[in-house]
Amino acid sequence: QQPVQSPQAVILREGEDAVINCSSSKALYSVHWYRQKHGEAPIFLMILLKGGEQKGHDKISASFNEKKQQSSLYLTASQLSYSGTYFCGTEIKGRSNTGKLIFGQGTTLQVKP
Amino acid sequence: NAGVMQNPRHLVRRRGQEARLRCSPMKGHSHVYWYRQLPEEGLKFMVYLQKENIIDESGMPKERFSAEFPKEGPSILRIQQVVRGDSAAYFCASSPRRGDGEKLFFGSGTQLSVL
């Protein structure tokens, strides 16, 4: 039931781009993306609710392919502050959605100067 | 507007003792979720509560773990007779409404260490 994220880890130079994928074996109601720095709370990035939805702010955007049960997070022109572990949280379609998120195992992103 | 407050930030217990973790949701939020995170792993859902009600406890171990969210006061995650395997970071998150695409606001977590 846990979504699978890929890659597990990425190392970038400042200014480079990265894509993080999240794939579920279950039909999804929504996909949430969070970033967590070591020892800190996960910070919300964005929610995608509808298949085909794409969202973004600054240089971070995401897409949701409901049919394929997948979401991707795009980081362009990466900055040092982007370093951290990125988690996708999936809300599985059910008779009653409680808002419970099932998180992937995380993708560690390290941006070097 | 204070965020989700968790305390203590760090908790050290010896095997067999009890651990009580507290979570005060954001003002106006009546929905609380507890997650556990082991080192280098993702967040694992434990329990979802509304005021005075447990809605979904499918992620809670069957023994020693309990959670409550009383009408007044913070939500409490209680672990009785702790064992070394309980060592982890415990995060709570709150939202103003029942799920369905609602954003979760996370607290800074309680790091539980069992000696």
pLDDT tens, residue by residue, A4-16: 999 999 999 999 9
Taking a C-beta distance cutoff of 8 angstroms, is the pair B24, B1 a contact?
no
In the block, tokens 């781009």 appear at A17
Q: Which of residues 54-113 of A touch B (CB under 8 A)?
A: 87, 89, 91, 97-106
What's chain B's Rg over C-alpha atoms? 13
Bigger pLDDT: B100 or B94?
B94
Residue B66 banded pLDDT, cuts 50, 70, 90: very high
pLDDT on residue B41: 82
Phi, then psi, of A81 in degrees rounded to 5: -70, -10
Number of helices and strands in chain B (H, E): 0, 11
Residue A96 banded pLDDT, cuts 50, 70, 90: low
Taking a C-beta distance cutoff of 8 angstroms, is the pair A2, A88 a contact?
no
Burial of B96 per CB tally in 10 Å (0-12, 13-18, 19+): middle
Q: Among A29-38, A46-55, A61-70, B45-54, whose mean pLDDT is lowest?
A: A46-55
Give me the residue from B41, B55, B109 closest to A98, CB to CB.
Answer: B55
Q: Is the pLDDT of residue B5 over 90?
A: yes
Secondary-structure breakdown of chain B: helix, strand, coil percentages, each rounded to the nearest 5: 5, 50, 50
